[in-house]
Chains A and B, each alone.
Chain A
Amino acid sequence: MGDIGRGFVQAVRLIVSLDPGTYEALGTSLRVTMSALFWSALAGFPLGILLAFSHFRGKQGVMNVVYTLMGFPPVVAGLLVYLLLSRSGPLGPLGLLYTPTAMVIAQITLALPVIVGLSVLGLRGADKGVFDLALTLGATRAQASIALLREARLAILGAVITAFGNAISEVGAAMLVGGNIQGATRTLTTALVLETRQGSFDRAIALGIILLLVSFLVNVVLSRLGEGTSEVGNVRHIN
């Protein structure tokens, strides 16, 4: 049996034996990524709507920055956050370096541009006529915006899935600002790097498989959420 086969067996073993180290890393990965995703979505979708439908000078410049940040190398983001949070940095007194919070901050810098950029593209691509259609059918501007968001729901789902995938799989920033501290900031990816360095390829492959599995499950759940109904929008309670 090759390394990959052994890794697979080991993965099953780690999962069913409820290996504490593995589950801890999995828990940290999910917690950090989910909170980064939550804050990025909370700020990113309103920003995306604003950018998609407003006109102001320098908008193209802002969009170019957003699109560039979408491909921001995680280690660079990690480095910036590291410099911000390190003891001599501007936010040093907060003592956040090597905590999960630091990792959340680093992941937000990666996920936010993805959410903003992809939602702008999705909303622009959605049929503009739908906004006017909703208005002429008697919607308020807020209700018309909801109808439009609903038209762009697949693009919005795509933004969330992409941001999630980027965040949970990145290792550079998590390593730099988290420090891979066992039981605290060790994630699936930083653990995987460590196991590989130590030559424990079985465990490393096992961690990789678990990472893929988790991504798959989360995406299944997200897609379900995005499927929606055949309604134009929930208008029953708005009037």
Chain B
Amino acid sequence: MSVTSTDLITVRGVRKRFGAREVLRDIDLNILAGSITVILGTNGAGKTTLLRILGLLEPADEGTVAYDGVVPGASTVAYGTSTRSPSQDGHFLPLRRQMLLAFQHPAIFSSSVLSNVTYGLQLRGVSRAEAEERSMAALRETGISDRARQHASSLSGGEAARLSVARALALQPRLLFLDEPSASLDPYGTKLLEDLLMHMRDDLGMTAVVVTQDIFEARRVADQVAFLHQGRIIEQAPRDDFFTNPRDEQTRRFAAGELLV
């Protein structure tokens, strides 16, 4: 794998440990611009951790993550500080504002549903009126516009997941990370999400990285599939190759729904 001009994200040698536990081991991954990459993996494989590193919410212990071929904060290495935290401002804020991560367990501000959506827009200097208009449109598309003035903590799990999707719709990030988005969605919500995802890819050129445990969802939406197992990327391939012609035996068994040992 080499850095190509179409890579939006290039991950090289990323490692992460929590205490003595090695959660990510030597991750190499290429996220193609304008594509949907699905990361498949079992519980505890390190999917959420990887997504948080890509979303600049957590630093890697080792390795690099380049965006458009540039490793953010890398210039500071020359001054002897090689481990800048990605959540530090300055180097990372403009980049962070091009991306959005929807968490596995949807987080909400304790305020109205509407202001949960407008917040990100207003941070970007969008006027209040326009922010509310765009947010209402996003809430309508996700089917929860009648909850707009309600307190967000009163939403059900599935509605909160729809709220996460509405944020993405309103912000239209260049890069969207979804952590098991359909886990709490009903079949309609899942369909809605998958349609929106492909629409944003096709019409807005958005790049998405979607974590899921659902092989069938991967088959439906993925352009690229990466299989993460015990902290390693076992295989990354275009969807059809991944499912019909896996190079790795573990991948074949996972894709076939067999148990891994």
Contacts and interface: CB of A to CB of B under 8 A. Distances in A.
B9 to A, nearest CB: 16
Nearest to A133: B107
A133 B123 contact: no
A132 B57 contact: yes
B148 to A, nearest CB: 11
A130 interface: yes
B96 A230 contact: no
B96 A135 contact: yes
A136 B99 contact: yes
Contact of B57 (A127, A136, A232, A238): A136
B124 A138 contact: yes
Interface string B73-98: 00000000000000111000100110
Given A137-B120, A239-B125, A151 B96 contact: no
A147 interface: yes
Interface residues of B, number: 33
A55 interface: no
A239 B94 CA distance: 12
Interface stretch (B111-119, B181-189, B234-242, B251-259): B111-119
Question: Across chains A and B, which 6 residue pairs bring their CB atoms closest together, nearest first?
Answer: A129-B107, A137-B120, A133-B107, A232-B119, A138-B97, A235-B122
Interface of A: 127, 129-130, 132-141, 143, 147, 150-151, 230-233, 235-236, 238-239
16 contacts: A129-B107, A130-B109, A132-B101, A133-B103, A133-B108, A133-B109, A135-B57, A135-B87, A136-B57, A137-B100, A137-B167, A137-B171, A139-B123, A147-B109, A235-B122, A239-B124
Interface of B: 52, 55, 57, 87-89, 93, 96-97, 99-101, 103, 105, 107-112, 115-116, 118-120, 122-125, 128, 151, 167, 171
